[in-house]
Structure 1
C-alpha cells in the first residue's frame, strides 16, 4: 500500500500541507457570505479579536520555539486572513451601512414627496407682499363663476378626503398586520428562549467536563506512572508561555460567537463551510505534529499548539449543533419583514 511506502516524516508533511490547504480556503466561504449579504452582524467581533491576538502569540511562539515550517506558514496565514475578515466587518458596519442608510433615506424622501399631491394655487397661504392682490383675484373669480367654483371645491374636497381615508385605511391594515406578526414573533421568542437556556446550561457543563477530562488525560500521558520521563531542559519558558496564551485565546474565542448565536437564536450571516474546513484543518494539523513524533518530550513542547487546534473541536461541533438547531429559526424569516 501507498501508506506503507511513506515514513512518518513524509506523512507529517502531507498532513501539514493538507492543513494549510484547508486553512487557505477556510475563510473564502465567510468572505463570500459577507460580500453577498453586505452584512457582518452574524460574526462576533470579540471572536475575531481573540482569534487575532491568538494568531499573534501563535506566530511569535512558533518562531521562538523553531517549530515545523508548515506551522510557521499556518501561523502567518491565520493572522493575514483574520485581519482581512476584520477589515470586512469594519467596512460593512461603519462605512457601507452608513452609505446604504443615506441612500435609503434619499429614496424614502423622494417617494414621500412624490406621493403627496402638490397643493393648488388656491390653497397656498399668501405672503405679505401679494396678499391683497390675491384676495382681490379670488374675490373677483368667485363673483364671476361662483357656482362652478363651489362645485369644483366640493368635488376636490371629496376626492382628497376619499384618497386620504383610503391611504389611512391601507396604512392601518399594514401596520396591524405588522403588529400581529411582531406579537407572534415575541411569543415564539419566549418559547424558544426557554429551550435555549437549557441548551446553554448543558453547553457549559459539557465544556467543563471536556476540559477537566482533557487536561487530566494529558497529565497522565506526560507525567503518569510507567511513562517515559520528560526532558524539561528542552522546554523553553517564553515560547511556551506564548504558545499557551495563543491556545487559551483560540479555545475561548469560539465562546463569544457561540453565545451570540444563542442570544440571537440564529446563525444567519455565518458560513457553515468555514467551520467544516476549520475542523478538517485542525485535525490534519494535529496529525502532522503527532506523525512527526510521539516522543513525550516532543509532544509536550508542541502541546500548546496541539491544544490550540484540538481544543477548539468541541466548540466547532457546538456551532455545528447550532446550525442544526436554528436551521428553521423563525427569526431568519421575520428579519425580512418590515412595515409598509
Structure 2
C-alpha cells in the first residue's frame, strides 16, 4: 500500500475539453481545451478581463462551468467540484483568497495550520497530545515556508511583520506558502507577474517551477507566459468580437441565395446572352434588357441583406466573451 502511494504521482493531471463558463451578461471564457500532466507548470496568459481568473477558479472547482468538461486528477468537472476543491489550493486570487493586511505573517501561518487541522485532519489527529499537534503544525508550516522560498528571518520584524509591510514578491511567497500547508495536488495563483520588476518576475516563475518540479501541478495566471511553461491563451472581448464578426460575415458571403454577383460577371453573362441570341428580333432584345434589370434588382437586394447579418452579428456579440461576463461570473463565486 505504501509503495503504491509513493509510485502514484502527487500532482493532479488537468484535462479540459471545450470548457466554457457563462455569466449573466455573456461568456467569461469558452472552448478551452488542453492537457497537462502531473507536475506541469501551466501559464494562463491573456489581457485583463479575458476570463483568466474565471478559468482558474473553474479548474479548481470554485466556479461551475456551463459547457464542455474538465478532469482534475481523475475527478470530472463540473460533477465533482467538491472533490476537486479538496485536492487543490488557491494562492493569491483577488477577491477570493487575499491576505489580510492587518495580520502578521505568523498569524496568517498559524491560522492556516489550525484550519487545515480542523477541516482536513483525521479523527486520530485530535487524539494526539497538544504538544504533538503543535509540533506537527510547526513542521507543516516550516515545510511550506521553505518550499515557497520565504525567508522569515529576512523580514523587517521576522514573523511579526505585518502583511502591509511586505513587498509584492514577499506577499506572493506568503500566499503560496499558505496554500502549500495543505499539501495540495494542484496549486492555483492569480496575477503572478502583476506589479513585479523583471528580476522579481524571474524569481516568481523560478519559485513556481520549483513547486511544479516537486510534483505539484501549478496553474498561474499572467500577462505573459514564461519559456518552458504550458501556455493557455485567453482572448479579450475585442478580439473575440472581431473573430465572431469575421466568421459571420464569411458565412453571409457564402450562404446560398445571398451571393451577390459582380458587375464583370453580369457583363459576361450579358455578352453570352447576346452571342446566343444573335439575329433575334427586337422583342427578344427587350426581354434581355428586362432580365438584366431584374438581375440588377436581385443584386441590390442581396447586397442589402449583408448589413442585416452584420447587425445580427453585433447583437450576437453580447453572447460572446465579455469583460462584464467575466466580472459577473466571478461575483457569483460561491465558496473559495
Task: Give the TM-score normalised by the residue count of structure 1.
Answer: 0.28
Structure number, greater radius of gyration: 1
> Relative contact order (C-alpha < 8 Å, sep 6+): which is higher?
1
**Structure 1 or 2: larger strand share?**
2
Task: Give the TM-score normalised by the residue count of structure 2.
Answer: 0.29
